[in-house]
């Protein structure tokens, strides 16, 4: 599925939404198009490498999602893109699987291990966390520029409830945005070089979500014309 539209200022940046068999991702495709991208929903790794940006969506269980991503080679695609400094955005469970592991119903599954830490169940009186919530945007955030005080739409029972990545000398520190539900704080978004992710659904978060996607798209290098291959 590809949108061929272009903007008055030139071709739209190309974004691939990884089609790994997750639930309905059409809303993500439509939101990215509305935010100014030319979008393709595919699991083709060459297309994923050639794109200006890659989005990894996910709904449901951690273990099932990470298995689906690995089945289509998405883990390798993410690693290759990040090794080349090419932007990747994870959404919801696509955010969670970027951590080392996830624990659900007593089962521990290995994640993509881009960040240390384990995704665990929220310790809140009401689970799942479903609905609109504010965030504590990190100072200097590009994702949340102009929308620091807005609300975003969450649907989840599990989250990364600690940030465990130690600072790396001579490299900019990741920007971590937090949220709270029922007294339990959790990671709501991360901006770490080429890798960004949100626990909430920007595609379901109205104008604030569209602004966040526009902000992310605005950071993308225009490189699609040069192409890219995964060997």
Catalytic residues, by residue number, are 92, 201, 203
Q: Between the CA of residue 160 and those of 2, 74, 154, 176, what are the distances in Å?
A: 33, 21, 14, 11
| Cα 48 from chain centroid (whole Å) | 15
Q: Rounded to an integer, what distance in angstroms lies between the CA atom of residue 220 and that of residue 113?
A: 23
The dihedral region occupied by 218, where left means phi > 0, alpha psi between -120 and 50, and beta the remainder, is: alpha
Residue 72, C-beta contacts closer than 8 angstroms, at least 6 positions apart = 18, 19, 20, 21, 43
Residue 149, C-beta contacts closer than 8 angstroms, at least 6 positions apart = 134
- Contact by Cβ (8 Å): 90, 198: yes
């Amino acid at each position: 599925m590809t949108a061929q539209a272009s903007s008055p200022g030139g071709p739209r940046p190309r974004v691939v939404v990884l089609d790994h068999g997750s639930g309905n991702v059409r809303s993500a495709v439509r939101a990215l198009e509305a935010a100014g991208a030319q979008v393709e929903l595919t699991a083709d790794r060459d297309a994923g490498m050639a794109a200006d940006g890659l989005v990894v969506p996910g709904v449901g269980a951690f273990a099932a999602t990470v298995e689906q991503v690995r089945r289509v080679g998405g883990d390798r695609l993410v690693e290759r893109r990040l090794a080349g400094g090419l932007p990747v955005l994870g959404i919801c469970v696509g955010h969670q699987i970027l951590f080392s592991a996830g624990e659900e119903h007593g089962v521990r599954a290995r994640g993509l291990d881009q960040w240390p830490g384990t995704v665990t169940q929220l310790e809140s009186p009401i689970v799942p966390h479903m609905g609109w919530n504010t965030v504590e945007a990190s100072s200097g955030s590009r994702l949340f520029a102009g929308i620091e005080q807005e609300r975003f739409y969450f649907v989840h029972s599990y989250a990364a409830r600690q940030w465990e990545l130690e600072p790396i000398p001579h490299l900019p520190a990741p920007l971590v945005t937090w949220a709270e539900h029922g007294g339990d704080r959790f990671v709501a978004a991360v901006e770490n070089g080429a890798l960004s992710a949100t626990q909430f659904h920007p595609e379901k978060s109205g104008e604030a979500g569209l602004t966040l996607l526009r902000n992310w798209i605005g950071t993308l290098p225009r490189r699609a014309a040069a192409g890219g291959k995964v060997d």
